[in-house]
Chain A
Amino acid sequence: MKKITMFTAALWLSTGLFAPVLGQDNPKLSDEEVAHVAVVANQIDIDYAEIAKQKSKDADILKFAETMANDHKAVINQASDLVKKLGVTPKENSVSKKLLTDADQTKKALQGKTGKSFNKAYIDNEVAYHKAVINAVEGLLIPESENGELKALLQNVVPALKTHLAHAEMVQKMYK
């Protein structure tokens, strides 16, 4: 089980190993599955933001987390509207499952930290997570989308993800 997910999803989501070489291992996703991955990926960052709101007292971290929660909710709302309009039901798949199991581990790790070490762990993870999601959206979800509106929605999300990454990297510099 673990080996299968390694081949399908993990490579796409780990920033280091992501490469076009992986053509033959590219998981085939239906639009229902692409939509599920998109919603799950956004929800995970909202969950991280909720943990930050509970655990951090740092103004910059809290403000960043607030922006993440709001923006990723906006993307989910847009995706939900589109999915309704298209009459598509998002469907669980190996990529979204892998995202969720990885996120569970990360959440546990974050829950175990406090104070400055929490702030650093949170923002480090935000940098890594946004890199991974950008790779997944550009390298997997957009090419796998068949419906033009779904593809356009994902393309529209990329600038936001890149802005979040740049913002996270800026905040990260304060916690070195």
Chain B
Amino acid sequence: MKNLILQIFIIFFLYSCTHTSKNDSASNEEPYAVEEDIPAQLSPQKEETVHVVEIRQMQFVPDTIKVHKGDRILWVNKDIMNHDVTETSKKTWSSAPLKTGSSWTLVVTEGADYYCSLHQVMKGKIILQSDQNE
């Protein structure tokens, strides 16, 4: 199992390198940093939009957010307690517990309901807007 993960990692790593060098053959002083900072390279034609959701006083603020596919949402914990961000229906994605001041980013691929698994009554919603009128 570990070997498999390692292999996938290596394949991905090699792919990343070739992928990066194709796009960025002129100056690649820090190819790894570039790769880490911009995982959404798959859609380089669009500018990245980052939406911020603050967690404070036991609430996601705003609790409903409208985004486009490929946008990022950044959750920032401004509360004194730990919180997390967990997809509701099948726990498709989940952050680790976020301490005060910590944040977590999701690249949105689909709309979702989410909640805090530590305080199960804390809820939020991601609504996907269509790109058709662009």
Contact = CB atoms under 8 A, between A and B. Distances in A.
Interface of A: 63, 67, 70-71, 74-75, 78, 156, 159-160, 162-164, 166-167, 170
A74 B119 contact: no
Interface of B: 57-59, 80-82, 117-122
A4 B121 CA distance: 39
Contact of A70 (B57, B58, B81, B121): B81
Given A156-B57, A160-B58, A74 B80 contact: yes
B80 A163 contact: no
- Which 8 A-B pairs give the minimum distances between C-beta atoms? A163-B58, A159-B57, A166-B121, A159-B58, A71-B81, A67-B118, A74-B80, A74-B81
Nearest to B118: A67
A90 B118 CA distance: 30
A67 B57 contact: no
A167 B82 contact: no
Contact of B59 (A63, A74, A75, A159): A159
B81 A170 contact: no
Interface of A is mostly: helix
B119 A67 contact: yes
Nearest to A73: B81
Contacts of B118: 63, 67, 70
Contacts of A63: 117-118
Nearest to B57: A159
Contacts of B120: 167, 170
B95 to A, nearest CB: 16
Contacts of A74: 80-82
10 contacts: A67-B118, A70-B81, A75-B80, A78-B80, A160-B81, A163-B58, A163-B121, A164-B119, A167-B120, A170-B120
